[in-house]
Amino acid sequence: MKLVLVRHGESIWNKENLFTGWTDVDLSETGEKEAADAGRTLLEQGYDFDLCYTSYLKRAIHTLDHILEEMDRCWLPVVKTWKLNERHYGALQGLNKSETALKYGEEQVKIWRRSFDIAPPFLEETDPRNPALQEQYRQEKSQSGDILPLGESLKDTIERVVPYYNDVILKSMKEGKRVLVAAHGNSIRALVQYFENLKPEEIVDVNIPTGIPLVYEFDEAGKFIKKEYLGDPEAIKSKMEKVAAQGSASKTS
Ligand SMILES: O=C(O)[C@@H](CO)OP(=O)(O)O
C-alpha cells in the first residue's frame, strides 16, 4: 500500500516568516506554483488517486485544488478534517520567527519549533483565535468542550493526527483506495514520527519541504517499508534547509 503526503506550497505567512499554526492564511504565488508543480510531478510519475484528505486550512485545501487541477482529477472525493490541521502554535501565532529568536534566543525558538513534547505558550481562552470560539470548529465544541487546543506540542499533534490516520485514512487504504493527503509541516511530521517510529531526538531534525510529494509504502498490515520524495534531491534538500533556517535570528523574511 502506498500513501502520498504533500505539505502545502509556500503560504503568505511562510514567506513573511511568521508562526502560523491554525491561522487560515492562503498560498503565496510561489506556493500556488509549487502546488501545481507537485500535481505535474505526480501525473508524470504515473500516480493516480481514489480519495483525498486535507485539513480545514485553505493553504492545504488550495494546494490540493492545484494538484487535482493539474491531474485533471477535480472530481475526486475530498475529506476535510481539522484533525490534519497544522500544529496549533498557541500564542506564538502571528509572531515573526527571527524576531522571536532575537528576543528569546535561537535555542528557545528551536525548542518551540522542533522539540517533541514542549508546547508553545497557550492562547488565553478569551482570545478570538481560540478555536472553540471559531465558526469552523463549532461542531467539535458542541460535542466536547475540551478537545480543541489552545496550543500544542508535536506530541499533542501526534495524539490527534495518528488516531485519525489509523481509524479513517488507513482504513480506506486497506479497502484498496489510493490516498492523497495535503497537509502541513507538523501534521506531516506527526505521521513521519509514527510511521518510522522515530525517537524524540530524531524527529527534531526532520523538516518537511513545501509542495513536494512524499510517498510512503507499507505492507498489508500497514507497517512502514520505505519512503521517497518525488523530485530533484538537491532542490528538496535546499527546501528542507530553508524550512530549518526559518528559526534563525538573522532571517527576517
Ligand atoms: O508556522 C507554522 O505553523 C509552521 C509551518 O509553517 O512552522 P514551523 O516550521 O516553524 O513549525
Give residue 132's identity as a one-letter amino acid code. Answer: A
Residue-wise burial string across 61-94, b where 16 or more C-beta atoms lie within 10 A, e elsewhere: bbbbbbbbebbebeebebebbbbbbbbbbbbbbe
Write down the pLDDT at residue 253.
47
Residues listed for the chain: 253
Q: pLDDT tens across 184-210, in order?
A: 999 999 999 999 999 999 999 999 999
For the chain, the average pLDDT equals 95
The neighbour count for residue 21, using CB atoms within 10 Å, is 25
Q: Which residues are paired to 215 by β-bridges?
A: 4, 228
Dist. CA 233 → ligand 1 center (Å): 22
Reported as a pLDDT band with limits 50, 70 and 90, residue 251 is: low
| Ligand 1 proximity of 113 Cβ (cutoff 6 Å) | yes
Write down the pLDDT at residue 141.
67
User: In ligand 1, which atom is closest to the CA atom of 207?
Assistant: 9
Dist. CA 71 → ligand 1 center (Å): 28
| Ligand 1 proximity of 55 Cβ (cutoff 6 Å) | no
Q: Looking at the predicted structure, is the pLDDT value of residue 143 above 70?
A: no
| % of the chain exceeding 90 in pLDDT | 94
Q: Looking at the predicted structure, is the pLDDT value of residue 100 above 50?
A: yes
In the chain, what is the greatest distance between 2 CA atoms, to the nearest angstrom?
A: 50
| Ligand 1 proximity of 185 Cβ (cutoff 6 Å) | yes
211 is in an annotated binding site: no
Q: pLDDT tens across 81-93, in order?
A: 999 999 999 999 9
Write down the pLDDT at residue 250.
81
User: Which ipTM score applies to this complex?
Assistant: 0.95
What average pLDDT score do residues 94-112 get? 96
Write down the pLDDT at residue 144.
56
Q: Looking at the predicted structure, is the pLDDT value of residue 237 above 50?
A: yes
| % of the chain exceeding 70 in pLDDT | 96
More confident residue, 169 or 252: 169
| Ligand 1 proximity of 120 Cβ (cutoff 6 Å) | no
User: In ligand 1, which atom is closest to the CA atom of 246?
Assistant: 10
Which residue, among 61, 59, 113, 55, has the nearest Cα to 89 in the 3D structure? 113
User: In ligand 1, which atom is closest to the CA atom of 19?
Assistant: 1
The neighbour count for residue 47, using CB atoms within 10 Å, is 18
Question: Looking at the annotation, which residues are catalytic?
Answer: 8, 86
Q: Looking at the predicted structure, is the pLDDT value of residue 115 above 70?
A: yes
In degrees and rounded to multiples of 5, residue 115 shows phi and psi of -65, 160
Dist. CA 1 → ligand 1 center (Å): 29
Dist. CA 166 → ligand 1 center (Å): 24
Q: Which domains does the chain have, with CATH numbers?
A: 2-245 (3.40.50.1240)
